[in-house]
Amino acid sequence: MNAMPQINVLKGTDAEALLANVAARLRNGSIIPYLGPGVAELSKPDVPLTPDALAIFFGTKVALPRRARGNAWAAAQHIESNKHRSTVTGLMAQAFSAPVEPTVLHRHLAASRLPMIVDTWYDGAMRAAFGKRDGWGEVQGITRAGISEFHWYRFL
């Protein structure tokens, strides 16, 4: 029998001390924010907010085998293998074509001048929060297919 994990909830001065410590560590760069799927949910965007939602989107556009249903990465791999990489690229552009309004958290992080922010989802809200502000850059993971280089990233 598996034991339920214990969740400790901090309150009062303990919570304030922990948050102050996290804020200080963010400012000095010893920790970085790591944003994943669902962070933009508060802005109620019309884009997939989770890998499950992205898998469902793929399934509405392409007939998927059972093994690929419900798994965004397996679905994308199937589409690429059976249609073409450009089909996956086009579906991703379609899935994330609606602009996503940055949340208060996105705007706060963008204004904080942190040394690094990791954003792992495709919604573009963090990029929008930075807007035209100077002094920031972006590194993206990319495909090596067709570029004849040994890089898996690009700088914007």
Count of beta carbons in the 10 Å neighbourhood of residue 74: 16
Q: Write the pLDDT tens digit of every residue in 41-65.
A: 888 889 999 999 999 999 999 999 9
Residue 10 identity:
L
List 141's β-bridge partners, or say none. 153
pTM, two decimals, is 0.76
Tell how far CA 34 is from the center of its chain: 9
Q: Strand 34-35 vs strand 139-141: parallel, antiparallel, or unpaired?
A: unpaired
Q: Write the pLDDT tens digit of every residue in 88-116.
A: 889 999 999 999 999 999 999 999 888 88
Cα–Cα distance between 43 and 121 in angstroms, integer?
A: 15
Mean pLDDT estimate for the chain: 86
Q: At what angle do helices 51-61 and 85-95 cross, to 10 degrees?
A: 120
Q: What are the extents of the domains in the chain?
A: 33-43+101-156, 49-95
